[in-house]
């Protein structure tokens, strides 16, 4: 009898996709969020589960666990241009969990929702032998402003918000005991809701997703879905200063590698027609967040990293285990 370990999660997810009945009016399958037709708008829904053993580092405070659980769900809404309506949490907790842990976790979750203009509207607590937390976020987006994963065209430019490598910097800061304030980048990601809205309102984005598993993995996912390739300009990639700092103290730690492969940054990766980029950049100024052009969509289905005259195929080593949606 085959087990999930034998077939791997991707095959398991494919067999789920095959057997689940499809809705008549739904869109967004294969996307960051489910998108349900409400007439002029889509209702966006996304869900994520975290488990102590596989998703929660021991250095993470309960406040950060709560923040993270909310943030990763809001990030999926952000990538579709959505405005959050609310979040529900299901908390599976062992009986020996301290009251303090629960309170701090909820404080972190509440801090994150209120920071991003929404609320926790309900939930469920259950006894569980292992801390298992499930967050579901929902939001709205006008159909005309929905930013799908599908739509990248050869010739479009590729851009990312913010900087990459923040989560990796946090991880290595804790690992090496240097610059430990960087852990915030790993444990308290900032969902790019405001930035997603700026892009959505401009109707310029041809495809969009959040970079949860690393830039490399995200590019591979967009490539597969859109049947396109990418040329990425290596010097243009906005690498966070934190990882550059840490790498100076540790031989063999390559900031570029971290920025490309580590994941956990929850920035937005978007494509748009070349003519749209400068106006979008201008609109971004008031947001306080960078928008950086890092490359171009190509017809040929390969992902190339370019540095002057040097060209190499980008490796896909993203953390596959980190996040597995049936439909994304």
Applying CB under 8 A, among 40, 95, 251, 286 the residue interacting with a second copy is 95
Q: What is d(CA 29, CA 199) in angstroms, rounded to the nearest whole number?
A: 21
Q: How far is the CB of 29 from a second copy (least distance, A)?
A: 8
Q: What is d(CA 274, CA 258) in angstroms, rounded to the nearest whole number?
A: 28
**Nearer to a second copy (CB atom), residue 103 or residue 311:** 103
Question: By CB under 8 A, which span of 20-28, 146-154, 215-223, 308-316 interacts with a second copy?
Answer: 20-28
Look-up of token digits 């993203």? 318
- Which residues in 233-292 contact a second copy (CB under 8 A)? none
Residues 99-128 as x/- pattern, contact with a second copy by CB under 8 A? xx-xx--xx--x--xx---xxxxxxxxxxx
Considering Cα of 212, then 218, then 224, then 226, what sign does the dihedral take? positive
Applying CB under 8 A, among 29, 236, 281, 306 the residue interacting with a second copy is 29
Q: How far is the CB of 257 from a second copy (least distance, A)?
A: 25
- 18: how many CB neighbours lie within 10 A of its CB? 7
In the DSSP assignment, the letter for residue 312 is E
**307 pairs with which residues across the strands?**
310
Angle (nearest 5°) at CA 319 between 317 and 325? 125
Applying CB under 8 A, among 14, 20, 176, 241 the residue interacting with a second copy is 20
Look-up of token digits 């701090």? 104
Q: How far is the CB of 319 from a second copy (least distance, A)?
A: 13
Q: Does residue 51 interact with a second copy by CB under 8 A?
A: yes
Q: 193-202 vs 62-79: helix axis angle to the nearest 10?
A: 0
CA atoms within 13 A on the CB side of 43: 12
- Which residues in 53-92 contact a second copy (CB under 8 A)? 53-55, 85-86, 88-92
Q: Does residue 143 interact with a second copy by CB under 8 A?
A: no
Size, binding site for a second copy by CB under 8 A:
82
Q: Does residue 6 interact with a second copy by CB under 8 A?
A: yes
**Nearer to a second copy (CB atom), residue 124 or residue 254:** 124
**Nearer to a second copy (CB atom), residue 92 or residue 189:** 92
Q: How far is the CB of 275 from a second copy (least distance, A)?
A: 34
Q: Does residue 49 interact with a second copy by CB under 8 A?
A: yes
Q: How far is the CB of 85 from a second copy (least distance, A)?
A: 5
Residue closest to 269 by CA, chosen among 188, 182, 137, 156? 156
Q: How far is the CB of 290 from a second copy (least distance, A)?
A: 30
The b-or-e profile of 281-304 (16+ CB within 10 A means b, else e) is eebbeeeebbbbbbbbbbeeeebb
């Amino acid at each position: 009898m085959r087990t999930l370990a034998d077939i791997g999660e991707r095959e398991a997810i494919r067999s789920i996709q095959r057997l689940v009945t499809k809705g008549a009016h739904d869109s967004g399958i294969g996307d960051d969020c489910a998108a349900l037709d409400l007439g002029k708008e889509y209702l966006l829904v996304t869900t994520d589960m975290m488990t102590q053993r596989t998703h929660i580092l021991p250095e993470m405070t309960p406040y950060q666990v709560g923040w993270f659980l909310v943030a990763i769900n809001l990030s999926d809404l952000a990538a579709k241009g959505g405005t959050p309506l609310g979040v529900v949490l299901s908390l599976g907790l062992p009986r020996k969990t301290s009251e303090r842990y629960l309170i701090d976790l909820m404080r972190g979750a509440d801090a994150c929702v209120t920071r991003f203009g929404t609320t926790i509207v309900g939930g469920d607590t259950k006894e569980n032998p292992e801390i298992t937390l499930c967050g579901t976020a929902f939001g709205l987006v006008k159909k005309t402003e929905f930013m799908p994963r599908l739509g990248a065209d050869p010739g479009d430019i590729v851009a990312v918000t913010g900087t990459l490598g923040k989560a990796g910097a946090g991880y290595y800061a804790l690992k090496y005991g240097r610059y430990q304030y960087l852990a915030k980048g790993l444990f308290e990601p900032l969902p790019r809701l405001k930035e997603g809205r700026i892009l959505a309102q401009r109707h310029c984005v041809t495809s969009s997703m959040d970079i949860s598993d690393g830039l490399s993995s995200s590019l591979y996912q967009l490539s597969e879905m859109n049947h396109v390739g990418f040329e990425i300009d290596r010097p243009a990639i906005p690498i966070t200063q934190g990882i550059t700092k840490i790498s100076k103290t540790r031989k063999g730690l390559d900031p570029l590698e971290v920025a490309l492969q580590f994941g956990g940054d929850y920035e937005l990766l978007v494509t748009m027609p070349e003519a749209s980029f400068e106006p979008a950049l201008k609109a971004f100024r008031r947001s306080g967040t960078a928008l950086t052009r890092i490359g171009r969509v190509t017809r040929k289905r390969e992902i190339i990293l370019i540095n002057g005259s040097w060209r190499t195929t980008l490796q896909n080593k993203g953390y596959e285990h980190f996040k597995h949606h049936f439909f994304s």
